[in-house]
Structure 1
Amino acid sequence: MNIALIGYGKMGRILERTALERGHTITVALDPAAPGPTASGAPLYKAIAEAKELGGTDVAVEFTRPDTAAGNIAALIERGIPTVAGTTGWYDKLPEIEKLVNAKGASLCWSSNYSLGVNLFYRIAALAAKLADPFPEYDVGGWEFHHNKKVDSPSGTAKILVGKVLQAMTRKKKAVWEKLDRPPEPDEIHFPSLRLGSVPGLHALSFDSPSDTIEISHSARNRDGLALGAIRAAEWLLDCKPGKAAGKARNGVFTFDDVMEDILKETLV
Structure 2
Amino acid sequence: MKIALLGYGRMGKEIEKIALQRGHEIIIKTSGKEEYDINNADIAIDFSIPDSAYKNISNCINNNVPIISGTTGWLDKYNDIVELCHKEKGAFIYASNFSLGVNVFFELNNQLAKMMNTLHQYDVSIEEIHHTKKLDTPSGTAITLAEGIIENTNKNNWELGSKTNTDSIAISAIRTPDVPGTHTVTYASEVDTIDIKHTAHNRQGFALGAVIAAEWLVNKTGVYTMRDVLNLG
**1:32–1:230 Cα change, 3 Å:** closer
The answer to whether 1:232 aligns with 2:212 is yes
1:213 is aligned to 2:193:
yes
Q: Which residue, out of 174, 179, 198, partners 2:178?
A: 198
Aligned: 1:94 with 2:78: yes
Q: Is 1:79 matched up with 2:63? A: yes
2:210 is the alignment partner of 1:255: no
Q: Is the CA contact 2:32–2:56 (under 8 Å) kept in the aligned structure 1?
A: no
Matching residue of 2:35? 47
Question: 2:161, 2:172 within 8 Å by CA — same for their partners in 1?
Answer: yes
Alpha-carbon distance in 1 for matches of 2:15, 2:207:
5
1:199-220 per-residue CA deviation (whole Å, 9 max, x = no partner) reads 2111111111211111111111
Matches within 5 A, 1:102-251: 102-170=86-154, 172-180=155-163, 184-238=164-218, 249-251=219-221
TM-score (norm 2): 0.92
Shift of 1:133: 2.1
Displacement over 3 Å in runs of 4+? none
Equivalenced residue count is 233
Report how far residue 144 of structure 1 moved: 1.0
1:175 counterpart letter in structure 2: W
Aligned to 1:30: 30
Q: Which has the larger radius of gyration?
A: 1
Superposition TM-score, scaled by structure 1 size:
0.81
1:67 aligns with 2:56: no
Moved more, 80-89 or 129-138: 129-138
User: What secondary structure is seen at the aligned counterpart in 1 of 2:148?
Assistant: helix
Matched, 1:2 2:2: yes
Superposition deviation, residue 32 in structure 1: 6.2
| 8 A Cα contact 1:31 1:47, kept in partner | no
| Equivalent-residue separation in structure 2 for 1:31 and 1:174 (angstroms) | 34
Q: Are the aligned partners of 2:32 and 2:49 in contact in 1 as well (CA < 8 Å)?
A: no
Residues 160-215 of structure 1, C-alpha deviation per residue, up to 9 Å, x if partnerless? 10111122223x332222335xxx53322211212222221111111112111111
Flag structure 1 segments of 5+ consecutive residues without an equivalent. Answer: 34-45, 239-248
**Secondary structure in structure 2 of the residue aligned to 1:192:** strand
SS in 1 for 2:191: coil
Change (3 A) 1:141 1:18: same
Change (3 A) 1:32 1:121: closer
Identical pairs, percent: 40
Alpha-carbon deviation of 1:22?
1.5
Whether contact under 8 Å (2:58, 2:81) holds in the other structure is yes
